[in-house]
Amino acid sequence: MQIRSKTALITGSATGIGKAIALGLAREGANVVINYSRSREEAEATLAEVENCGGSGWIAQADVSDNDQVVRMVQASLGRFGRIDILVNNAGTTDFVPLEDLDGLLDAYWDRALGVNVKGMFHTSRACADELRKNKGCIINITSIAGFNGAGSSIAYAASKAAGISITKSFARVLAPDVRVNAIAPGIVITRWVDGQEEHIQKYSDKTPLGRPAYPEDVADMTIAIIRDGNFMTGQTIVVDGGWSLSSS
């Protein structure tokens, strides 16, 4: 897909992976919709960076777990840019609960993980579906290797990421042949989610063939590559973990 002059909606793009994707797409010449739920100041800072690199951006507040908010965001984005060609479902959340702490995994944590990570992905994909069909667009879902190995910050988080991989396959079927739908499953990524977990990061890096964890730009680069060059790929999940899954298998 030619990215220049296309419009991309990236959920959860005020910080971290979503921000890196927004900046990467802006550098490729896309208009970007920067979605946030609570991080207004960070979203404004990301918009400023988008504009500093010559891109055109716009901020849209919405909690993706709320379908009505998603629909309003999509309609407002269309009002601002006139089209949506690319959807990146990046918004995610978790509550850190050790896997063995079964009683500690409260229903509220399940509801939050499934609401944002699963229903949110469905809400935005559904809301953008007709527009993406019309424009022969594409969807990229940011999942996690936790969706394959059942590990991660909690059982609920891992289950939600496995569901995201399944949703990717379902939407690839439903929206074909007009829309390509793929996913990226990173390993540990250096964002504010892992602040203060230096020991865990080092342990992960030591077991990774490429010798380091991922940075947001690593995921952004793969996202852009799939959008730009993956013209005959759909329903796939690409692992971006520096080979960590090789050493753990």
User: In the chain, which residue ranges form alpha helices assigned H by DSSP?
Assistant: 16-27, 40-52, 67-81, 107-113, 120-135, 146-149, 155-175, 198-206, 216-229, 244-247
Query: Buried b vs exposed e over 180-204: b needs ≥16 C-beta within 10 Å?
Result: bbbbbbbbbbbbebeeeeeeeeeeb
Give me the number of domains the chain comprises: 1
Residue 202 lies in a domain: no
Residue 249 has pLDDT above 60, yes or no: no
Q: Among this protein's residues, is 109 annotated catalytic? A: no
Q: What is the pTM of this model?
A: 0.95
Residue 178 has pLDDT above 60, yes or no: yes
237 has pLDDT over 80: yes
Tokens of 64: 């993706």
237 assigned to some structural domain: yes
pLDDT of residue 196: 66
Coil, strand, or helix at residue 10?
strand
Looking at residue 206, its pLDDT comes to 81
36, 109, 157, 204: which one is catalytic?
A: 157
For the stretch 84-115, pLDDT in tens is 999 999 999 999 999 999 999 999 999 999 99
pLDDT digits (tens, 9 = 90+) for 26-74: 999 999 999 999 989 999 999 999 999 888 999 999 999 999 999 999 9
For the stretch 72-81, pLDDT in tens is: 999 999 999 9
- pLDDT tens digits for range 129-177: 999 999 999 999 999 999 999 998 899 999 999 999 999 999 999 999 9
| Model confidence pLDDT, tens digit, residues 186-230 | 988 888 767 766 776 777 788 889 988 889 999 999 999 999 999
Q: Which of 176, 146, 153, 157 is nearest to 237 (CA)?
A: 146
- 47: nearest Cα among 86, 90, 15: 15
Q: What is the CATH number of the domain that holds 83?
A: 3.40.50.720
- Is 206 inside a domain boundary? no
Domain ranges, residue 54: 7-190+216-241
pLDDT at 19: 97
Lookup: tokens for 149 = 């190995």
Tokens of 108: 């509220």
* Domain-embedded: residue 211: no
Residue 19 lies inside a defined structural domain of this protein? yes
Inside any domain, residue 101: yes
Q: What is the pLDDT of residue 169?
A: 98
C-beta separation of 46 from 12 below 8 A: no
